[in-house]
Amino acid sequence: MGSNAPSIIDNQAERQFELHADGAVSVLTYRITGDRIRLIHTEVPRAQRGRGYADLLAHAALERAKREHLRVVPLCPFVKGFLDRHPEYVAQLVDDADV
């Protein structure tokens, strides 16, 4: 991999997925309570937008949820849009009001 290839880290201490590329960091913050992962906010630095980094972060979060059998509560508008485009993750979704 070249030094410009993005890498994604699940920084569990900070409760965020991080994508490191070109000296900047894009993040998707989350909270896990019980069997639910709440995907809260995606932020991509302006200089990195348009490269699909937010999609990569959403994919990483949803794959972790699948591996760990977590129900997904998409609070982030970007993640909601991603899920609209990727129906393969719909079975993992749960409404935050469902207890």
pLDDT at 99 over 80: no
Q: Within a domain: residue 66?
A: yes
Q: How many structural domains compose the chain?
A: 1
Q: Within a domain: residue 1?
A: no
* Residue 29 bridge partners (DSSP): 16, 41
34-65 burial: b if 16+ Cβ within 10 Å, else e: eebbbbbebebeeebeeeebbebbbbbbbebb
The whole-number pLDDT of residue 1 equals 40
Q: Within a domain: residue 80?
A: yes
Instruction: Output the domain CATH number for residue 84.
Output: 3.40.630.30
How many beta carbons lie within 10 A of that of residue 28, not counting itself?
28
Q: Within a domain: residue 55?
A: yes
Q: Within a domain: residue 96?
A: no
Q: What percent of the chain has pLDDT over 90?
A: 81
pLDDT at 10 over 70: yes
pTM attached to this predicted model:
0.90
The token pair at 85 is 């485009």
Domain with 61 in it: 7-89
Q: d(Cα 40, Cα 49) in Å, to the nearest integer?
A: 19
